[in-house]
Structure 1
Amino acid sequence: MTGHSSYRAVVRFTAAVALAVVTLIAVGFGEARQHDGNRQIDDMSLFMLAGWLVSLVAVGRAQWTRAAYLREVEQRALAAEREQEARAEQSATEERLRIARELHDVLGHSVSLINVQSGAALHRLSKKPEPAAALSAAEEALEAVKATSKEALRELRSTLGALRGPDESAPTSPASGLDRLDELVARARATGIDVRLRTEGERRPLPPPVDLAAYRIVQESLTDVTRHARATGAVVTVDYTDGAAVRVRVDDDGEGAPEGSPPGSGIRGMAERARAFGGELTARNTAQGFGVSARLPVDARPRTEGSGRTE
């Protein structure tokens, strides 16, 4: 529509100029054919007529230019408004995805552990052991479920703190990070899998977003180990030897992923976390089972966003 309007305005302006020129030529030619005594318009009047026509054309051109400028300003304002709305919508979408990913990691991990722990206890009780042994197995399972659910509530409160209003107080529980891996490994070990934690290089503090991302990657990897791997053991490795990045690895001795299987949502979520910080993540079968490895630059800021095992 704008292009057609501009084209019509140019056509009208060209027609006006042509009409003015033709009028001047016609008047001038007519006066030139008259004898000196029979002229209807003298030179001064002819000059004033020419000036009047030129003035009309100039005024029309100025008005057209001003109207075009106003249209351009209005279009730019509308474009800026649309861009601002698109950015706001994109930011809201990214925030929803971030919260959804956090909830998936927190609840998925904890519910998976509770499911495995309660399933193992029921399996032992189904063998109808002696009352003392049955009571011991039930107490052990309930203690593990209690600890896991307590940690799930703590992390859930911390995650939902991002949704609190400006007048609400911030959560007081510490944020999850690599310094809490001992607890994470202990909960995974309670499911019956021999999970070990290993640190390479000198441990150093990390920026909170990177620290949380590394923790979540290990958490989701252990969730996959307990749910899908059918493993008896796993090793969690945190590598600080790279001064520009931190590396985390989780290797298990399970069955691995079926060849050609698409990545599950857990693997995709971990890969998105790594890419958000300019890092990378690999998830593939190994000679012993399955391995997940991630590298996260320590000086990176989150930015706007695998192969692996199916869930």
Structure 2
Amino acid sequence: MTRTKVMAWAGGAVYLLMVGLLVGGAPRASGTVHGVGSLLAASLLVGMVRRTPLPALAMALLGSTAAVVGPPSSAHENLAASYQGEFLSYLAVDLVLGFIVATCARRASLVAVAVSVTVQLLVIGGFAHGDNLTVNVVIGLLATAASCTVGLLSRERREHAVALRSQEVAEAVTAERLRIARELHDMVAHSIGIIAIQAGVGSRVIRTQPAEAREALRAIEATSRETLSGLRRTLVALRQADPAAAASGQAPLAPSPGLADIERLVAATADAGVRVEVRRSGEQRPLPADIDLSAYRIVQEALTNVVRHAGTGRCRVTLGYGDEELSVEVVDDGRGARGATENGSAHGFGIIGMRERAGLLHGHLSAGPRPGGGFRVAARLPLPEPVTVAVEAR
């Protein structure tokens, strides 16, 4: 038995001792004195109420009943005045009862309510007389009902809070799963598309043009190494749930890609047979990490779709650095709607992932065939307002 439990039971024993001293030591005191005194002594049961509420209720019933039936003055005159105030001791029982209803199982709560009401009604019926009988019965029932109502409200509020926390946890897990799925899709799809193209080229020219075959194999090797490195960084980041382990430097992580890596992405796409023209407008400046990564992934996925589905040898990427938003546009003159569906492929999630990335940043993404042929992906990502520091003139 732990120290806290010992102290809780010691408090219960002291409570019974105090009630006994109150009843036996002041037999001729008024019933109100006994009732108020036993009610105040119930504060010693706080430890038991928190840890063992049902035994605490039993002690409260025993002490409150002793405060009513114990005084020898019950044989004296003016019984009504003597016992009218002693029933105040049952307020301690009602407080414990409310705690039980709020925290214990419903079956235990029902048993506790039934026992408490039965004991109170029997004692009140045996020691109250005349008009005081009706008044004390009504007051006792109302006090019990009030404590049970407060307990039920507290239980419902706690259960509602638990349900909300569970829902928040589930939503957070779902959001994290979607984020990981998007990151892995954008990371792997582009590389696998390039590898597939290069492998096809190498297999066709391996006998007639060995130099080009070696170049295709070199591109496959470089792309595979880069993809494996990215996957390793992602898996290490997922495994480092402990911030101390992440800060210990056991597995340092490379920074996430951004628009500064567009040229490397363009070179990899060119190796796959698609020449990319990059245009920039506006004042180029550092962007928040989430916007920078999302813009890069949108361009990456759009180029992947061009390589895999457009059937063209060129496309254009336009980056617009506005005052309030970053605009990203990827257009090609390929097969258009025949080469890519709403999801970027017949069974893929490319455009869905791009839309999710833009939506998480309160941006907008549109994707569809161009009127003059080809396909167009356009995203607008809001930028935070620049922080300005006021300088006082001297």
Instruction: Indicate which of 325, 343, 358 corresponds to 1:263.
Output: 343
- SS of 1:291's partner is strand
Partner of 1:304: none
Instruction: Indicate which of 384, 391, 394 corresponds to 1:299.
Output: 384
Worse-superposed segment, 74-83 or 183-192: 74-83
Partner of 1:153: 228
Aligned-partner residue type, residue 276 of structure 1: L
- Whole-angstrom CA distance in 1 between matches of 2:224 and 2:339: 35
Change (3 A) 1:261 1:203: closer
TM-score, normalising length from structure 1?
0.75
Q: Is the 8 A contact 1:253 1:289 kept in 2?
A: yes
1:143 aligns with 2:210: no
Report the alpha carbon displacement of residue 170 of structure 1 after superposing the two structures with TM: 5.2
Q: Is the 8 A contact 1:158 1:175 kept in 2?
A: no
Aligned-partner residue type, residue 351 of structure 2: I
Partner of 1:177: 258
Report the alpha carbon displacement of residue 284 of structure 1 after superposing the two structures with TM: 1.2
Q: Deviations over 1:107-129 (max 9, x none)?
A: 1111111111111122223xx42
Partner of 1:285: 369
1:250 aligns with 2:335: no
Partner of 1:41: none
1:70 aligns with 2:155: no
1:200 aligns with 2:301: no
Q: Deviations over 1:171-229 (max 9, x none)?
A: 33221000000000100011111111111112111000110000000000011000011
Query: Greater relative contact order: 1 or 2 (C-alpha under 8 angstroms, separation 6 or more)?
Result: 1
Q: Deviations over 1:38-83 (max 9, x none)?
A: xxxxxxxxxx622331221012111101011101111211111121
- SS of 1:257's partner is helix
Structure 2 unpaired stretches of 5+: 1-105, 107-128, 386-394
Number of aligned positions between the proteins: 250
- Whole-angstrom CA distance in 2 between matches of 1:228 and 1:116: 11
Worse-superposed segment, 189-198 or 177-186: 189-198
Change (3 A) 1:275 1:144: same
Report the alpha carbon displacement of residue 256 of structure 1 after superposing the two structures with TM: 0.3
- Whole-angstrom CA distance in 1 between matches of 2:178 and 2:237: 13
Q: Deviations over 1:67-110 (max 9, x none)?
A: 11101111211111121112112111111111011111111111
Report the alpha carbon displacement of residue 261 of structure 1 after superposing the two structures with TM: 5.0
- Whole-angstrom CA distance in 2 between matches of 1:105 and 1:204: 24
Q: Is the 8 A contact 1:248 1:293 kept in 2?
A: yes
Partner of 1:80: 161
Partner of 2:10: none
Q: Using the aligned pairs only, state the percent identity.
A: 40
- Whole-angstrom CA distance in 2 between matches of 1:223 and 1:172: 25
Instruction: Indicate which of 176, 181, 190 corresponds to 1:95.
Output: 176
Structure richer in helix, relative to its length: 2
TM-score, normalising length from structure 2?
0.60
Worse-superposed segment, 272-281 or 291-300: 291-300
- Whole-angstrom CA distance in 2 between matches of 1:135 and 1:79: 69
RMSD: 2.4
Report the alpha carbon displacement of residue 160 of structure 1 after superposing the two structures with TM: 2.5
- Whole-angstrom CA distance in 1 between matches of 2:294 and 2:308: 21
Report the alpha carbon displacement of residue 282 of structure 1 after superposing the two structures with TM: 0.6
